[in-house]
Amino acid sequence: MLTKVIDQPKIDRFAKWLEDADKIVIVAHVAPDGDAIGSSLGLWHFLDFQGKTANVIVPNAFPDFLKWMPGSKDILCYDRYKDFANRLIAEADIICCLDFNALKRVETMADVIQSAHAKKILVDHHPYPEEFCDITMSYPKVSSTSELIFRLICRMGYFDDITKEGAECIYTGMMTDTGGFTYNSNDREIYFIISELLSKGIDKDDIYRKVYNTYSESRLRLMGYVLSQMRVYPEHHAALISLTKNEQRNFDYIRGDSEGFVNIPLSIKGVVFSCFLREDTEKPMIKISLRSVGAFPCNQLAAEFFNGGGHLNASGGEFYGTMDQARATFEEALKKFAPLLIAKE
């Protein structure tokens, strides 16, 4: 049996909305990751099974390694189909905002979502949610939004309406947001849910292969290069990797190629904090990815130095300046946070 994580009145209210609604739009954050896409498609399959007119809209493209997911071909990218997406948003009865805690995380879609007359619900696990929805289901202790979608559907009494395809999407989100169940994954109920998803006929080993073992040769060579340039700060138990636009060109970089790189330095004994600086190809900025193990608060450092936020152990932000300046800012942040940078036993 699962603990009742989501508050009952919120579930009752959403279930009532669904009874009266037909047109539902599901929205996830910019640069959607496995959990953003997994939770969105998990919910979409359920609504589709129930005969609703549902659409998933994301601000921009998502990585190729998620394109095998059932239903992913019907996801609308707002930057490509803005007019159509605007119409769907304006006509929606309900908008479900998944896997983000602030409207600015949907970037160019923020205004249309804010002004849409639809009822709005947030389902998310990032701390400090902003109040921009009528129902806010925010549970930061839960390791993925996909897990919350499973819990939500079950609590409404519809476990039987989760299809194999929906289960595959939910599993993918749970797996990717925990690094294949290697962090944030000690809650035993996760494994109860996996067992329930397996009962739908999903092949979890195959899903792992499709997500993690389908990269290009150039991506592997890029990884080797990035690691060869890594800086380690033993006194701060930290490491830094980076990737400029020039380096991206040298390795035929495509979006998603550096996914997961930030986790690799954490495999060094004694390193508890890793930072990845990547020059963006679209905007004049450097995207920051931060990861930690143990108690080090990546999100505090992201907020203080990189105009960002996120989870305790996984956060991100943005930097406007050169790569050298970004490195200098990171080193300054290391000094400031030194008292908290302690090797894990």
- Give the footprint of ligand 5GP on this chain (CB under 6 A): 33, 126, 262, 289, 308-311, 314-318
Output 98 or 334, the one with its CB closest to Mn ion: 98
* Shortest distance, position 84 Cβ to ligand 5GP, whole Å: 27
* Shortest distance, position 345 Cβ to Mn ion, whole Å: 28
Output 21 or 61, the one with its CB closest to ligand 5GP: 61
- The binder of 184, among Mn ion, ligand 5GP, none, by C-beta within 5 to 8 A per type, is none
* Shortest distance, position 169 Cβ to ligand 5GP, whole Å: 18
CA 194 to chain centre: 19
- The binder of 126, among Mn ion, ligand 5GP, none, by C-beta within 5 to 8 A per type, is ligand 5GP
Q: Does 124 bind Mn ion (CB under 5 A)?
A: no
Considering only residues 177, 257, 259, 279, which one is a binding residue for Mn ion as defined by CB under 5 A? 177
**By Cβ distance, which residue is nearest to ligand 5GP?**
316
Residues contacting 336, CB < 8 A, separation 6+: 304, 305
Q: Cβ–Cβ contacts within 10 Å for residue 187, how many?
A: 16
* Shortest distance, position 177 Cβ to ligand 5GP, whole Å: 8
Output 173 or 316, the one with its CB closest to ligand 5GP: 316
Contact indicator for 169, 37 with CB cutoff of 8 Å: yes
Q: Does 99 bind Mn ion (CB under 5 A)?
A: yes
* Shortest distance, position 32 Cβ to Mn ion, whole Å: 10
Distances from the Cα of 248 to the Cα of 59, 242, 252, 258, angstroms: 23, 10, 6, 10
Question: Among 30-38, 130-138, 151-159, 272-280, which window interacts with Mn ion (CB under 5 A)?
Answer: 30-38
Output 135 or 314, the one with its CB closest to ligand 5GP: 314
Question: Among 34-42, 102-110, 260-268, 307-315, which window interacts with Mn ion (CB under 5 A)?
Answer: 34-42
Considering only residues 14, 27, 31, 35, which one is a binding residue for Mn ion as defined by CB under 5 A? 35
Among residues 279, 269, 273, which one has the least CA distance to residue 226?
279
Residues contacting 125, CB < 8 A, separation 6+: 99, 138, 139, 140, 141, 142, 143, 144, 145, 147, 148, 311
Q: Can you read off the two tokens belonging to residue 69? A: 């997911």
Q: Cβ–Cβ contacts within 10 Å for residue 320, how many?
A: 11
* Shortest distance, position 176 Cβ to Mn ion, whole Å: 8
